Amino acid sequence: MEFVRVARSGQVPEGYVRRFFAGELEIAVARLRGTAYATSNYCTHLDCLLSSGKLVDEGIGCSCHGSVFDLETGDAVCPPATEPIRTYPVREEDGDIFVGITEEDVASGGPRRRKVVR
């Protein structure tokens, strides 16, 4: 696993979530109670962008139907989502946010919007 710089600390103020990329890997980075967290950016319910969501006491809330995910474990703590989101380790040093990802994460692009089969 390699820690990759994805943002400056100031780009993720308290209570905000924003989207960043590490290569092809799309990541939502949030700051709650002073700590920065990194997760996959797609809700496991119907793929809405978590970077468009809102932080709540329990974690990150999806703006589409109200699912909430724990930022540390990725567990769905409020329905309708039942499956966890991916979480990635975060280090914050000298004003930069680094996210721990593997080569496989980057190669796969991580969790993405599902293709709709018509």
Considering beta carbons, is residue 23 or 84 the nearer one to ligand FES? 84
Concatenating the DSSP letter of every residue in 70-100 gives: -TTT--EEESS--SPPPEE-EEEETTEEEEE
Shortest distance, position 38 Cβ to ligand FES, whole Å: 18
Shortest distance, position 113 Cβ to ligand FES, whole Å: 11
Nearest Cα residue to 39 out of 115, 105, 107, 103: 105
Q: Which parts of this chain interact with ligand FES (CB under 6 A)?
A: 43, 45-46, 48, 62, 64-67, 80-81
Residue 71 contacts residue 60 (beta carbons within 8 Å):
yes
Shortest distance, position 66 Cβ to ligand FES, whole Å: 6
